[in-house]
Structure 1
């Protein structure tokens, strides 16, 4: 088999990269270890920055997103029993965020790729990358009971944190920056209309809570918990009682309750590898960096990587100019570290840390007060939340 760009992973990064390359006349083949059904129903965060939504729209795959997605012009910070709205659009020159499930983005991209005839080989096993330091890299894999070799010019590692591409980089090539957090998120899906039109981030003495949504009829809510929390210890009644406590305010906020259809605990970490490239192998998305979900940057950061690499590959194939490819890691990491900083800051601002002394807790509360009373501080939050430029 032969293609120009071999892509490992059919998540949002791999699918969008393939689509953008197709629009520029560049061929690709996508290899995915999971089934199509699994990939399309894998629930992940679904908040898109302004430029991420525009990227899908400009690429011709944003029609359903615009019909079904929820545009938000602000968020609410709640602490001390008071709610404080951050007017994102007003503070960022009109930019907004879009609530649209990541699995819905995946469905749209898979449909577009298959309609264009791009091969997506689901259930590809025993995937390995070879000769990335040469001009003739390849990917070996097993599919439909047969062994295959995919020869290509470039390999894009879009296979996530647990994928095979990052470990395939030469030993000693990577610098790893890793930070764990002493808590996780207990997340639920509930069949109930959202209790607020915009996301509510709550800092409470019991711990953090988040009210978000998937659609006008489905709510997504989170509670700070231990990273090894036993989900079985949380009955529906206990979950709703704790959410009622942490999300309450003095203005009569009413949290709507409904049937819980999904529960799970998400551990939290910050992770970056440098560089994001070795020879002809390029890492994108979670293969290169992980952010805590507080700032809603995961998929958006992957889209930034995709936009940078797609532009560099287009220039290389059209003119032979490799400057963009040579600068890929440096360019992508510059934005990645800004997203890491913002996600760390939001996490530190809103969560309860067991190690906090009363002095540190007071500082945290003072920071929340400053952010919600200073236009300059709120503007900084807003411009990061709606998204820095993708490239």
Structure 2
């Protein structure tokens, strides 16, 4: 691939300068036949000749080789999507080799490193040695945090690392990294939006407020969802949480914005009801989970709607993967089914006719 890139750039640059193969050969001190082979991609110049060739063509060695130390955001998104798809089609270790080769070439491209860490985290369970992959994720996050000057990347790497620590049973390290207190919300976004409005930047101010509302809305749903299983011994609070979050899901039409938030909520609610031995309520939540699965339009994308009408530009600009899902379609479908059919928590429901029918229907709907 690199030879091919070099050949294209070499020919293009030589023609732009209006020089012949013979002239290049004489300058470098090789035969015309050698230059011809370079241009055909049949051979590659000795590494000691690259500085001289780059000087002759008045470009850098990296430019001559077609090498870019940094990938664009769009390129990273494309590479991520291609690799994610390969994970559902090829053995994990085969895709891993491709990722590591990519990392060795772009080991100073911190946005790419972070996305490869996220990709590993999304598929590590498919590996023959999941712990080794999680350890690799930690190393990649450490590199980003230590060497990147981008605060957002460093913060994101810290969050991914904390998640891995939870997966590997190290809650104490999470607390050391993130602390054990919640900061006070000061409404910085409101002040920024007001200031932007006063300077005439109304569109930007509106976008900031919509993004703020969107994130805090999803944050409320996520926090309530994670808190459900901590409240199974408090039925009144548990039921009220289910009631309020269901109202939020409907009010903000979350199934159109970020359907995963609703799916995870109904899944956790069903688990909580099973733990409380309330079978009918658990089946009700599974039923709603199934209905939401049937509303999914593939490929899944992150997007705004008529209410959050300024969200799409922010997603494209600030979300690392843009609007695309972090996992490939087939893996998502398998997880949607497996989350209820393979969960030990739902073993007590497997004799229930409706639960069995839901699994059969969901498998049919997802074409699995």
TM-score (norm: length of structure 2): 0.25
Determine which structure has the larger strand proportion and give its number: 1
Which structure has more relative contact order (CA 8 Å, sep 6+)? It is 1
Q: Which is higher, the Rg of structure 1 or of structure 2? A: 2
Q: TM-score, normalised by structure 1?
A: 0.24
